Amino acid sequence: MAGNDEFEVLFHRYERNPILTREMWPYPCNSVLNPGAIRLADGTTLLLCRVEDFRGHSHLTVARSADGRGGWEIDREPSFAPDLEQFPEELWGVEDPRISYIPELEKYSVVYVAYSRGGPAVSLALTEDFRHYERLGLVLPPENKDAALLPRRFDGLWMLIHRPVMPGLGQHIWISSSKDLIHWGHHHLILEARYGGWWDADKIGLSPPMIETPEGWIMIYHGVRVTASGRIYRLGLALFDLEDPTKALLRGDSWVFGPSATYEREGDVPNVVFPCGYTIDDDGDTLNIYYGVADTAIAMAHASITDILHWLKRHGRPVEHTPVSGWETRPLT
Ligand code: BMA
């Protein structure tokens, strides 16, 4: 296990963080956070930002930048707002979008949280331009969130990663499959929160969508630990089989990124780093993560995909699989 002396800095904060704040917004709002991200065909970085209004409800607004760092152009109108008439489950807002480009459909998928009376639930929409959306509606009922689509089919099936809540048994990462993007089944638990004193003991969830590499899918997940002064959200790494993303190959013991800058430590919800999106530079190796800081603003950090894979090979351990039916008897780790 990595001790303090071995802690390697994989993610480097952009020196001009935070990159987007509510002061930059063209209309009044309480906070901007947890953006989905994608690089468009022309190289523009598009962030679909969660914007919280003064009721505490969120909608999604587009910000664009030529270099993904500065010069942001922010739309004056929301790109995606709750549609209570047709989708009443969006009652208390739409949150935390994860974007994937789906080559087969020539569309982007936006998987987001519909904040319903029953709690957060998973909804899916498709778009070609982030102006018009084809809403497929609620695909997984509450309580569930932290979901993203894999960009291609596996044996003819689409795959969705998500994080349901199992009352009394914790909050872990699952994967499900579908023929039509609407009806989901074959549910598998793929990564568990740990126990007790671990940094990721209290709950885990997918952060940005999985990152495809020749060696497997990199998962950046958030892990939460409840402390005397509140929750701490940090990031950890796991690797999944390229052709069978239900299979976790490796998982690191230590976190790789956590709140330390003032803008990550102070805000509406202190001590939160929460990426929902990433882009990859033209070099094919530089990974930029876009993350909410303290549920207040948006920051960016970059890492090398090669370094992440080396780190996982050095520090990752094989993941034990506990069938859900064996949960009652599972050993504490
Ligand atoms: C999670 C999500 C995120 C939020 C984080 C910290 O459960 O709701 O939207 O950033 O909590 O408050």
Average pLDDT value for residue range 173-191: 96
The CA distance from 262 to 271, in Å, is: 9
199 has a pLDDT exceeding 90: yes
pLDDT, position 201: 93
Which of 271, 274, 276, 296 should be mutated for ligand 1, with most atoms under 8 A from CB? Answer: 274
Residue 283 Cα, ligand 1 centroid: separation in angstroms?
32
Which of 143, 165, 295, 298 should be mutated for ligand 1, with most atoms under 8 A from CB? Answer: 295
3 has a pLDDT exceeding 90: no
The sign of the CA dihedral 263, 268, 272, 276 is negative
Q: Which residues contact 62 (CB under 8 A, 6 or more apart)?
A: 46, 47, 48, 49, 74, 75, 79, 130
Residues found in the chain: 333
Task: Output the six-digit token pair for 308.
Answer: 């992440």
The CA distance from 181 to 127, in Å, is: 14
Task: Report pLDDT digits (tens) over 10-41.
Answer: 999 999 999 999 999 999 999 999 999 999 99
List 218's β-bridge partners, or say none.
Answer: 211, 239
The greatest distance separating any two alpha carbons of the chain, rounded to the nearest whole angstrom, comes to 56
Q: Is 217 in the pocket of ligand 1 (CB under 6 A)?
A: no
List 100's β-bridge partners, or say none.
Answer: 109
Mean pLDDT is lowest, of 162-176, 186-200, 312-326, for 312-326
The SS3 assignment for 291 reads strand
Q: Is 115 in the pocket of ligand 1 (CB under 6 A)?
A: no
Task: Report pLDDT digits (tens) over 49-60.
Answer: 999 999 999 999
Q: Is 202 in the pocket of ligand 1 (CB under 6 A)?
A: no
pLDDT, position 153: 98
Strands of the sheet containing 273-280, edge to edge, are 12-13, 297-304, 286-293, 273-280
Task: Report pLDDT digits (tens) over 88-122.
Answer: 999 999 999 999 999 999 999 999 999 999 999 99
Q: Is 292 in the pocket of ligand 1 (CB under 6 A)?
A: yes
321 has a pLDDT exceeding 60: yes
Q: Is 146 in the pocket of ligand 1 (CB under 6 A)?
A: no
Cβ(19)–Cβ(72) under 8 Å? yes
DSSP state of 66: S
What is the chain's mean pLDDT, rounded? Answer: 95
Return the ligand 1 atom nearest residue 203 CA.
Answer: 7
3-state helix, strand, coil in the chain (%, to 5): 10, 50, 40
pLDDT, position 323: 60
